[in-house]
Amino acid sequence: MKTATFPKPFPSEKIKKIKAFKVKLFAVLLIIVLQLGCKNETRWEKMPAPFASSIRSFADKENIWYVGTSSGIYRSSDSGNNWQESGLKGKVVDNIFVTASGSILAGVYRSGLYQSVDNGNSWNRIGFAKNVYLYSIVQNKQGKLFLSASFASEDAPKTKTGIFVSNDDGISWEQTNLTDADIINLCITEKGTLIASSINKTYLSKDDGKTWQIGGKGLPETLPISAITSINDILFASLGNRQEEAGKIRGGVYKSTDEGKTWAKTDSGIDLSSPISGLCFVNNELIASAGFEQKNGYVGLYKSIDSGKNWFKYALENSFCRFIKQTENGKILIGTNSEALFASAMPFKNFTQIGRGITNWETFRITGNGKELFVAGNGIWQFNKKKYEWELIKKSNSIDLAITADDRLLVFENNQILRSDKQKIKWQLVKTITGDYALFKVLTEKLIVAGIAGNGAWHSTDQGLTWTKYNLKGFENAYMRTAGLSNKGTLFLSGILESAKTFRSVDNGKSFTAIKAIDSLEVWDFATTDKAIYIATYAKGIYKSVDDGLSWTPINKGLKTEKEYVTATSTIAIDDKNLVCSTLGKGLFISKDAGATWKNFNEGIADENFWTLCYNHKTKSIASASPSGIHRTTLNL
């Protein structure tokens, strides 16, 4: 009788190998499953950017140059010939400063103060996370640092503002007695006097910020100081508001012989309708830079050879010059709003454009006609699919553009609405309207609305050829932001005068009624479907109406908490269920249930701030405009 035989057990070493193989196999299968799942996830791609960078700030130390841009920091170790990314990508860097010890401080829009102690290789946020602007950092000869922190975030109204001082290289900060929320600029003179400038006041401190006195007698009440330089104990101040360009007089140059207490006008020859952004004294000559973002007058450089008595146009005409600086190695550097940088060595006769490698491109409006994409961003651009690049079709300071049903472009510049031909080559002046800027909204093939800043709402029913102003009683001079049209034909207009208001018309714009349900709510955009109307709002996220705009409900689950303040800059409705919105500070969001819930929609994107969106229903592609350029993806819904 045969006996049963059992297989011998595997040796322990072989068992270990089998287990290891199973673990590896499981890991491989898991990766495959994840990759297959990711194919259904929407990932954004950054489209190529033209050489049109916006430079906000500059600092240098030991021949290393740093610039703050609308999307991060770049550095150069060869006097600007080559540039590399140096951190804070996707963040708007309004100010950059190198301390005497060599650490770098960066003031970031709506994000706080960052510090690097390794030449910009890494950054840590060290404070001021709830301040909107950190425009200025200066240091006295004793090593004390001073910083201006302007405006508190909407969700943190108790945030401290004003001028702060640090005795430990920026690690900790103490608020001084100057606590105004609207300090635009802070300067320090050769004698150590601190001069802080708000929209309508100038303050002086001669004891390191312990006490402050009112100065600035003789300066205009509505223009802050943008920069200060000195010649033989005489102070020269340029005037210009980089935060808001408004009014007929937007710039100027003044001088003071008493450390800022009193000032006298000294800007003969300067076009005052443009802000003066900076001053520099070199070779016994004063050079002034003109222009931030809007053009109402001359932008470029001025020069004075008689200590500021007379000025003449000098160089870089039509370039928006945000600042002028002298580098440690003696060069003059100009930062522009759309052309990167210009540099000049002695004797400062010729300026050479530099900055290739700085890839940010500050864009506002992205729009299309189903076949082509167009962008308003430091000019008007068209995307060339064959070359896969953006081509400049019009040098313009228009912040917005629209495309008509008959394939023409509309822009607003220098108080004029211009209309292109179908080839986008020739431009025709169709309407002169006094206003700081225009925001367009194409509602139908036969209705286009233009919100003119400071001059109400206008509309065209003939593809932008003629324009008529809507009669908004008491709101004719408002800053109109946007418009909407429901599926029932109800027209909505929204803007700001002393407070925000949204108006509703059921008779094609003949008469309007203010909507009480959203009174004081600042509306930035409308989107409509057959079932609902959606609005993107300042600080309050997204609202929805299902009764043709009579009542509104906030729909922000996943977008923001109840106490959190998030500005939704734009929203589009793909269909009745699918929505996309852009925000300031939190990127992009998508909803697949008609706004009931929102999910983060930033795969592949570093940017935090977005302005507008454009959706192509044929290709299902969506594009977004941000301070770093254009991103694009295809929706898988």
Reported confidence tier of residue 474, pLDDT bands at 50, 70, 90: confident
Amino acid at 224: P
Rounded to 5 degrees, what angle do the CA atoms 90, 91, 92 make? 125
pLDDT tens by residue, 208-260: 999 999 999 999 888 899 999 988 889 999 998 877 766 677 889 999 999 99
Distance of CA 168 to the CA centre of its chain: 31
pLDDT at residue 41, rounded to an integer = 54
Nearest to 163 by CA among 138, 130, 141: 138
Backbone phi and psi for residue 16, each to the nearest 5 degrees, phi listed first? -65, -40
If you average pLDDT over residues 111-135, what whole number do you get? 92
Adjacency order of strands within the sheet including 225-231: 225-231, 234-239, 252-256, 264-265
Token couple for 57: 């700030």
Cβ neighbors of 326 (< 8 A, separation 6 or more) are 280, 282, 332, 333
What is the mean pLDDT of the segment spanning 462-478? 94
Taking CA 360 as the corner, what is the angle to CA 357 and CA 361, rounded to the nearest 5 degrees?
A: 125
SS percent in the chain: helix, strand, coil, step 5: 5, 45, 50
Q: Which residues contact 35 (CB under 8 A, 6 or more apart)?
A: none
Tell me what the mean pLDDT of segment 442-470 comes to. 96
> Half-sphere exposure of 178 toward its Cβ, with a 13 Å CA cutoff?
32
In this prediction, residue 4 carries a pLDDT of 34
The pLDDT of residue 76 is above 60 = yes
CA 223 to chain centre: 21
How far apart CA 531 and CA 510 sit, in angstroms, is: 25
Mean pLDDT score, 334-343? 92
Q: How confident is the model at residue 347 (pLDDT cuts 50, 70, 90)?
A: low
Record the pTM: 0.85
Mean pLDDT of all residues in 405-417: 94
- How many angstroms separate the first and last alpha carbons of the chain? 70
Asked whether 50 and 381 are in contact (CB, 8 A), the reply is yes
Mean pLDDT within 75-90 = 92
Name the DSSP letter for residue 134.
E
Among candidates 477, 483, 341, 479, which has minimal Cα distance to 402?
Answer: 483
Strand order in the sheet with 72-76: 55-61, 64-69, 72-76, 84-85
The full set of domains in the chain, from first to last, is 218-326 (no CATH), 478-494+510-610 (2.130.10.10)
> Quick one: pLDDT at residue 131?
86
591-632 tens-digit pLDDT: 999 999 999 999 999 888 999 999 999 999 999 999 999 999
- What percentage of the chain carries pLDDT values higher than 70? 92
Count Cβ atoms below 10 Å from residue 490 Cβ, excluding itself: 18
Other Cβ atoms closer than 10 A to 287: 25
Look at residue 8 and tell me whether its pLDDT is greater than 60: no
Kindly report the backbone phi and psi dihedral angles of residue 305, in degrees, each rounded to the nearest multiple of 5, phi listed first: -110, 10
Which residues, at least 6 apart from 11, have a Cβ–Cβ distance to it below 8 Å?
none
Is 9's pLDDT higher than 50?
no
Can you give the pLDDT at residue 245? 64
Helix (H) and strand (E) counts in the chain: 1, 56
Going from the C-alpha of 435 to that of each of 294, 439, 458, the distances in angstroms are 11, 11, 12
Q: Please list, in sequence order, all residues whose beta carbon lies within 8 angstroms of the beta carbon of residue 603, skipping any fewer than 6 positions away.
A: 41, 42, 43, 44
Convert the pLDDT of each residue in 269-315 to its tens digit: 999 888 999 999 988 899 999 988 776 788 999 999 999 999 999 99
Stated length of the chain: 637
The Cα 552–Cα 526 span in angstroms is: 13
Closest CA to 370 of 587, 159, 615: 615
282 vs 110: CA distance, rounded Å: 35
Predicted confidence band of residue 42 (pLDDT cuts 50, 70, 90): confident
Burial letters 16-50, b for 16+ CB under 10 A, else e = eeeeeeeeeeeeeeeeeeeeeeeeeeeebebbebb
Q: How far apart are CA 36 and CA 273, in angstroms?
A: 58
- Please give the helix or strand (H or E) that residue 287 lies within, else none: strand 285-290
Q: Look up residue 344 and give its amino acid.
A: S
Would you tell me how many other CB atoms lie within 10 Å of the CB of residue 285? 16
Cα dihedral: 615, 618, 619, 624 (round 10):
-10
pLDDT at 246: 66
- Record the tokens describing residue 367, joined without a space: 């729009």
Laid out side by side, the sheet with 541-545 consists of 523-528, 533-537, 541-545, 553-554
Inter-residue contact 228 to 212 (CB < 8 Å):
no
